[in-house]
Structure 1
């Protein structure tokens, strides 16, 4: 009798399956982003690390699902499925921009109710949770939101030039901005997992001191890495970031687990 085919994941996409991988890197996208934002990073990781990229509802193959408008709701949705995906191997979280906030909330859930805590929490292009930064972008008209996306240079220009695609994606982008802009936690809210904050030295929306303030949100080790570039410095420094993730995880787990 044939083994049943496992159900397709709703929340996570694995672009480069690595059945023998010893560790998982769970990737959380930015506002308006999708799992595909991490395709290239996934490809660059060594064979021992398998990337699981979150696909939030309301975009791409989940376009017909209701979008979520708070960071805790996004984290809770991911948490409900993630536990089973990482129960048998160590894992780390990586979130960019809004995804950094989602990763922090997800780490809190995993530490409290999950099978185990993350080995590390990588927060990229995001101010610390205790620093408010509501710019009111969610209240802008469509042209104003499109202007913001152009300025940040993180959205495919072909999408911004296609009215039908914009009609589909703008409600989700607005909902994501509502989640990102209204997220805030007190200075006392911490995780135990080590935190690595990544920042662009010319990011117009996240100052270096705001990125450094993540130090106060962990009882574990903290590291700040600064890269040349703006808010989407990630795209220009992917090889270095893949190496940073790999080296950090090599140091966090028993010798030999990431050998080779």
Structure 2
């Protein structure tokens, strides 16, 4: 991690924040956070579908693909510290909407909290997918070196081609990042930064996911603004490849979360 007092160079920013398609001047940024073991490239189809009206920015965590020589950050809050700093230093423009899936939802949430409470740069909205609200997460422990447990969990979620998990060389490539990310997600506990946001939150999940509806709805406790939920056909990785219904839901969510409705105790479920 870099010293926050030092200016961020283009190479550092480009390492963390990837833009795949050109967007119109003044387009609102949608900052996307991958799941455990995921990469920025997973959001390429969404970026293509939303351009040029939305400037999709995908986060590339250290320890994977072209950043494989860097150590994996095994702490959600440290990831959020760095990403929030980079976003806060971005040139002036529309406030971003943050969108995270699974572990990425936790990183997006902590990043939103830092932007608002530490940098005075409240995001326009937060979309969280496939994850319980922070205080509803059960305490879990991942034994050191238990790679098979990590792979079995990933396989059960249906997020990776089974052929990848049974190929020794491919397994060796993905395991370091996956192991570190799973440790970060299992060790995560909220509280290092104020967790009440003033931006709207939208929470999504797959209908066949194991997430309890109450755990998804509990995200409402983290905003003083509007809250919406939605369930999609499929399991934990219902958004894989970003089929048209999910893309349209993102467009709708961007409209909802940036409408800046007046704070209200009444939550809207769609």
In structure 2, the residue matched to 1:83 is: 88
Distance in 2 (CA, whole Å) between partners of 1:162 and 1:87 is 46
Large movers: runs of 4+ above 6 Å: none
In structure 2, the residue matched to 1:198 is: 204
Deviates more, 1:50-59 or 1:168-177: 168-177
In structure 2, the residue matched to 1:20 is: 25
In structure 2, the residue matched to 1:159 is: 164
Distance in 2 (CA, whole Å) between partners of 1:164 and 1:92 is 37
**How has the CA–CA distance of structure 1 residues 70 and 6 changed in structure 2, closer, same or farther, with 3 Å as cutoff?**
closer
TM-score of the superposed pair, with normalisation by structure 1: 0.87
Deviates more, 1:25-34 or 1:135-144: 135-144
TM-score of the superposed pair, with normalisation by structure 2: 0.84
Matched-pair contact (CA < 8 Å) for 1:27–1:38: yes
**How has the CA–CA distance of structure 1 residues 120 and 146 changed in structure 2, closer, same or farther, with 3 Å as cutoff?**
same
Equivalent position SS for 1:27: strand
Equivalent position SS for 2:14: coil
CA positional deviation for 1:246 = 1.8
CA positional deviation for 1:103 = 0.5
CA-atom RMSD in angstroms: 2.3
In structure 2, the residue matched to 1:65 is: 70
In structure 1, the residue matched to 2:4 is: none
CA positional deviation for 1:181 = 1.2
Is 1:124 matched up with 2:133?
A: no
CA positional deviation for 1:191 = 1.2
CA positional deviation for 1:237 = 5.8
In structure 2, the residue matched to 1:97 is: 102
Deviates more, 1:144-153 or 1:78-87: 78-87
Distance in 2 (CA, whole Å) between partners of 1:67 and 1:236 is 25
CA positional deviation for 1:140 = 6.4
Which of 175, 184, 203 is the equivalent residue of 1:170? 175
CA positional deviation for 1:141 = 2.2
Deviates more, 1:14-23 or 1:47-56: 14-23
The answer for unaligned runs of 5 or more in structure 2 is 1-8, 261-270
**1:144-185 CA distances to partner (integer Å, 9 max, x unpaired)?**
222222111112444323312322321221111111112223
Which of 197, 217, 225 is the equivalent residue of 1:220? 225
Distance in 2 (CA, whole Å) between partners of 1:17 and 1:216 is 36
The answer for unaligned runs of 5 or more in structure 1 is 255-260
Matched-pair contact (CA < 8 Å) for 2:113–2:195: no
Matched-pair contact (CA < 8 Å) for 1:24–1:86: no
